[in-house]
Amino acid sequence: MKAIRVHQHGEPEVLRYEEVPDPTPEPGEVLVQVRAAGVNFADALARRGLYPTLTPPPFIPGIEVAGTVVAVGAGVEGIEVGQRVMGFAPKAGYAELAVMPAAGAMPVPERINFEEAAAFPIVFLTAYHALKTFGRLQEGEAVLIHAAGGGVGTAAVQLAKIWGGRVFATAGSDGKLSKVRTLGADIVHNYRTGDFLDAVRRWTGGRGVDVVLESVGGEVFEKSLRALAPDGRLVVVGLSSGVQPQLHLGLVIMNRLSVIGMHLGSMTVKRPDLVGTSARELIGLLAQGMIKPVVGHVFPLKEAAEAHRLLEGRGSYGKLVLKP
C-alpha cells in the first residue's frame, strides 16, 4: 500500500510518500480501507519529535481515519466487512489501509461523507469533554472559545450553542470569524486587531466568562485566566504556541477558579466509558444534522506536507483532510 512515512524528525518535507507492507488486524482490531484521514496538530508534533507518546522513526503518522472495513481480527463482534466506520487509528492513519481498535470504531451516519467522517472524532470528542465533562457548561453561561476557526473550535462553537451557552469566539482573521458566526457564535473577535480580554469584559459588563476553552498557552492562557468570572473554569486542551504560561495562583484562589487539563488520547485509555458514552451522543446529533464537521481543505495523501504547512501556518479553517 501507499503511505506517508517519517524517517527523521523535522519540517513538513520529511513526510515521504512510499510503498509499505499492508497491515493486518490483530485480535480486537479491524482493517480499514482508508477513504479519508484527519490531519491533527498532534501529527505535526509527532513529525517534529515533540509529541509526548512518541513513536521513533521510521513511522507512519496519523491517528484518525474514516473508511470501509475490509477485514476483522479474531474476537471482533458487531462489525462486518463493508461497514463504513470512523475512529482512531493509533498505529498509522496516513495510509491506504489502517488498523483500528474495534471497540473504538464508530458507525458513519448515512448523511455524512468520508471527508466529514474523518474530520469528526477527535475535534468533537475533545470539544464535548472540554465543555461538558470538565468545563461543566450550563445553559445561559458565557464561554470563551479560542482558535474558533480551527477543528476543535468549530466543533466547540456548535456544541456550546446546542447546550445553551453564550459564545464569544476568537480567531486570527475576519474571514474565519465570518464563518464562525454562521456556526452560531454570539460575538466574534479578531485577536490580531484588539485585546480579547478587554473585549470580553465589555461583552460581559466586567463580570467575565464562566468557561474558557484554551489551546494556545503563553499570554493567551494568562489573559484567559483573568477573563474568567468568579467560580469560572479554564479548560486547557493544547499548547500550540509552545510557550509555557505563568499561573497567577492568587487570582485562582481569590476567585475560586478551576484550571483543568484535558487530553483525549489519555481519556480513551483511562476512561473509555466516558468516551464511549459521549461518542454515542455525538453520533446521534450528527445523524440528526444538529452538528456538522467543518472540512476546510482536502489534500491528496501524497501532499501531506502541504497540509502540514497550512496547518502550522494557521491558514486553515476547520479541519484538514487527506485522501488516499
Pair 221, 299 in one domain: no
- CA dihedral angle for residue 300, residue 303, residue 308, residue 311, rounded to 10 degrees: -50
DSSP H/E element including 250: helix 249-254
Residue-level pLDDT at 297? 96
Pair 52, 109 in one domain: yes
Question: Where is the domain boundary, 265, 280, 313?
Answer: 265
Q: Are 307 and 320 in contact (CB under 8 A)?
A: yes
Residue-level pLDDT at 315? 82
What is the pTM assigned to this prediction? 0.95
Pair 153, 217 in one domain: yes
For residue 75, the one-letter residue type is G
Pair 153, 212 in one domain: yes
Return the CATH number at 306.
3.90.180.10
Domain that holds residue 13: 2-120+293-323
Sorted by sequence, the CB contacts under 8 Å of residue 250 that are 6+ apart come out as none
Residues in the chain: 324
Question: Where is the domain boundary, 249, 265, 281?
Answer: 265
Q: Nearest-CA neighbor of 130 among 301, 259, 323, 40?
A: 259
Q: Are 320 and 297 in contact (CB under 8 A)?
A: yes
Pair 253, 226 in one domain: yes
Residue-level pLDDT at 243? 87
Pair 155, 246 in one domain: yes
| The total number of structural domains that make up the chain | 2
Q: Which residues pair with 213 in a beta bridge?
A: 145, 235
Question: What's the rounded Cα separation, in Å, for the pair 283 and 289?
Answer: 10
Place of cell 489519555: 266
**Residue 77 forms part of a structural domain:** yes
Residue-level pLDDT at 91? 77
Q: Which residues pair with 2 in a beta bridge?
A: 19
**Residue 277 forms part of a structural domain:** no
Distances (CA, A) of 286 to 116, 153, 157, 219, 259: 10, 17, 15, 35, 30
Pair 205, 142 in one domain: yes
Pair 146, 250 in one domain: yes
Q: Nearest-CA neighbor of 102 among 92, 115, 82, 88?
A: 88
Pair 142, 33 in one domain: no
Residue-level pLDDT at 53? 67
Return the CATH number at 243.
3.40.50.720
Over its length of 324 residues, how does the chain's per-residue pLDDT go in tens digits? Answer: 999 999 999 999 999 999 999 999 999 999 999 999 999 999 999 999 988 767 889 999 999 999 999 999 999 999 999 999 999 998 799 999 999 999 999 999 999 999 999 999 999 999 999 999 999 999 999 999 999 999 999 999 999 999 999 999 999 999 999 999 999 999 999 999 999 999 999 999 999 999 999 999 999 999 999 999 999 999 999 988 888 999 999 999 999 999 999 999 899 989 999 999 999 999 999 999 999 999 999 999 999 999 999 999 888 899 999 999
Question: What's the rounded Cα separation, in Å, for the pair 231 and 253?
Answer: 10
Residue-level pLDDT at 51? 82
**Residue 279 forms part of a structural domain:** no
Pair 91, 150 in one domain: no
Pair 113, 46 in one domain: yes
**Residue 270 forms part of a structural domain:** no
Residue-level pLDDT at 285? 98
**Residue 90 forms part of a structural domain:** yes
**Residue 276 forms part of a structural domain:** no
DSSP H/E element including 278: helix 272-287
**Residue 298 forms part of a structural domain:** yes
Pair 134, 253 in one domain: yes
**Residue 243 forms part of a structural domain:** yes
